[in-house]
Amino acid sequence: AKEEGRGIYRFYTAALTDKANERLSMERRLRRALERDEFLLHYQPLIRIADRRIVGFEALARWQEPGNGLIPPGSFIPLAEETGIILPLGERVLRMACRQMKSWLDAGHDIATMAVNLSPRQFHLPDIDEIVSGILTETGLPAQYLELELTESALIEQGIGAEMRLAALRKLGVRVAIDDFGTGYSSLSYLKRFPINKLKVDQSFVRDIPSDPADMEITSAIIGLARNLRLDCIAEGVETEAQLDFLRQQDCDFAQGYLFSKPVPAADAESLLGHGIEM
Ligand code: C2E
Ligand code: CA
Ligand code: CA
Ligand code: CA
């Protein structure tokens, strides 16, 4: 029995070491990826439900590691966030997205919004407003076209500092959306204090429409909340006409999801702008 016990112990430490090593090597790969500039953006259209026109895009990070295909953000953003790599990475994402938006505007495309995810750690930077304003200046993108997507937890966990940084960002003229709305544990009172522009209904509520009555209630409550607070509202993860019908009935203004388009490379996004979305 004693022998067996030691064996199990050895097994566990080996497993832990493997895990730690894996993290370490992933961290090294991420830093190298920054040096080698292996990150790129895909763009997913934001759609006005009334006329199905593209009103903007959300920029979503992808990692093109040579020999390893296109790695989705779920596989590297969490570790980037933990290690702080998200700070230089997030800046690069912001710069690429603003540059792309500026070039689409210069080409005459009539779109209003480039949405970029801002991680909690980025939002926590005391000089985040200066970083954003520096990138706007550098790329020549007028602030009103940039929308920063923040999660509820990023806002709530940072107390009074969050209010000040949010105010500083809004003062630049950029817009702010609450991402994954409804999945945080927050009280709703922060909606009064924070100068935000838009709620994004999390896709977990949209997924089972129209079969799950609770999800439909929650979705319609969020849409109503946005309307009463004079905020824009967009539903994420819209995959079916039935979901879209429900959102239209509830007077939701905007939608995003595979029904319209997956996130696509810049060139494909631009051709969507030229030809519209076929449905
Ligand atoms: P998110 O911000 O909630 O982005 C929406 C995610 O839902 C995207 O996954 C998108 O591809 C996916 N999606 C869009 N429409 C549909 C649909 O109809 N059905 C389904 N099932 N999924 C849909 P993606 O690109 O894998 O991104 C995952 C998450 O990674 C994002 O969730 C965001 O939290 C994070 N992320 C992506 N890019 C960045 C970035 O540049 N910075 C930071 N901080 N986070 C990022
Ligand atoms: Ca988002
Ligand atoms: Ca989301
Ligand atoms: Ca559900």
pLDDT band at 12 (very low <50, low <70, confident <90, very high): low
Answer whether residue 4 shows pLDDT above 60.
no
Query: What values do phi and psi take at 58, rounded to 5?
Result: -105, 130
Instruction: Give yes or no for residue 179 CB within 6 A of ligand 1.
Output: yes
* pLDDT tens digits along 232-270: 999 999 999 999 999 999 999 999 999 999 999 999 999
Averaged pLDDT of the chain: 93
| HSE value, Cβ hemisphere, 13 Å, CA-based, for 38 | 20
Instruction: Give yes or no for residue 93 CB within 6 A of ligand 1.
Output: yes
CA dist., res. 269 & res. 122, Å (int): 27
* pLDDT tens digits along 137-195: 999 999 999 999 999 988 887 777 889 999 999 999 999 999 999 998 667 888 888 89
pLDDT band at 1 (very low <50, low <70, confident <90, very high): very low
**ipTM associated with this complex:** 0.97
- N- to C-terminal Cα distance for the chain? 66
Nearest ligand (C-alpha, residue 147):
2
Q: What percent of the chain has pLDDT over 70?
A: 93
Nearest ligand (C-alpha, residue 150):
2
149: β partners = 117, 177
**What is the average pLDDT across 124-145?**
97
